[in-house]
Structures are given as C-alpha cells and as structure tokens.
C-alpha cells in the first residue's frame, strides 16, 4: 500500500464569521496545491482513495491535487484527520483497505507530522504547507518497521 500525506496549502487568516474551520486557501496556497498536484503526477501517484480533513482549506487543497492527478473518485471528508486527531484512527481505516491501495490524505499541523512520525518510526518535526510525504506501508499501519519513506515534496523532491 502507498500513502501520500499532504499538508494543506497556505490559508487566509480566520475571519469572524467562519473562524478557523472556514479558512480558505490564499492565492499562494492555491499555487502550492497545484504545484503539489503536478509534482505527484510527475512521480506517477495514482490514488485509489482521497481522504481529507473536512476543514475548507484541506478540501480545497485536495480538490486541486486530485484534479492534477486525474482522480475520478470523490474526496472523502473524514473526521479522523482534524489538526488534533490521533493518527491511530487513520491507521485503522488504512488496515481495512486492500494491499494495493494508494491513499492520498490531506490534513494539517500537527496531525501530518504526527502521522508520518508514527508510521516511519522517527520524528518528523515540521511539515510545510503544500508538502507531501510518500510512504510505502508494508506492514500493519503504525507498526514498528511497517513503513518506509519513498520521497518528500517540499517545493522540490527530496529522495
């Protein structure tokens, strides 16, 4: 199974009416999401599932990325990908998928580095906006030694 973790693009400051949940992408964030989508396409990422935090900025990022990937499915908003969610709920959902699944997950700080750290077994300190981690999951999600980092996208590829 492959898992691509992406942090949403840069977002506007909260406004009084919608608060943090309703923050949308800035022009910079939209450009970041498009660039991330193109980069993932360049590396041949072809998701079978697209999951996102239900917060506006994550949904917008997801839609821009899957558009670049030609994903014909639906982006599923999940309540286990909020900024303060625990990664183990996601790992349970991943465990129910077939071994050939390729899952795109778009979320937030501090969730993205927490999920990457739990999967990879080392501390991932920062996850920039628009960044992506491509992870091969070979064992039970979240188990020691059950995943390996394939590459990172941080405005450029880091292998």
Sequence ranges of the binding site: 57
Strands 132-137 and 49-52: unpaired
Tokens of 17: 């009416």
What b/e sequence results for 61-86 when a residue is b if at least 16 CB atoms lie within 10 Å of its CB, and e otherwise? bbbbbbebbebeeebeebebbbeebe
Annotated binding site for substrate: 57
Residues in the chain: 159
8 CB neighbour count, 10 Å cutoff: 29
Q: Is 27 helix (H, G, I), strand (E, B) or coil?
A: helix
DSSP-derived pairing of the beta strands 2-7 and 102-107: parallel
């Amino acid at each position: 199974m492959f898992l691509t973790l992406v942090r949403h693009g840069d977002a506007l400051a909260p406004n009084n009416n919608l608060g943090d949940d309703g923050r949308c992408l800035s022009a910079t964030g939209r450009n970041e999401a498009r660039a991330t989508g193109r980069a993932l396409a360049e590396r041949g990422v072809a998701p079978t599932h697209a999951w996102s935090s239900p917060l506006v900025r994550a949904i917008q990022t997801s839609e821009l990325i899957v558009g670049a990937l030609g994903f014909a499915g639906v982006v599923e908003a999940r309540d286990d990908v909020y900024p303060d969610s625990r990664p183990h709920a996601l790992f349970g959902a991943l465990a129910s998928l077939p071994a050939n699944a390729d899952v795109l997950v778009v979320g937030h700080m501090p969730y993205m580095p927490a999920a990457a750290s739990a999967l990879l077994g080392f501390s991932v300190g920062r996850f920039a906006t628009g960044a992506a981690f491509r992870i091969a999951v070979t064992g039970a999600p979240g188990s020691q030694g059950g995943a390996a980092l394939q590459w990172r996208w941080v405005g450029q590829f880091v292998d």
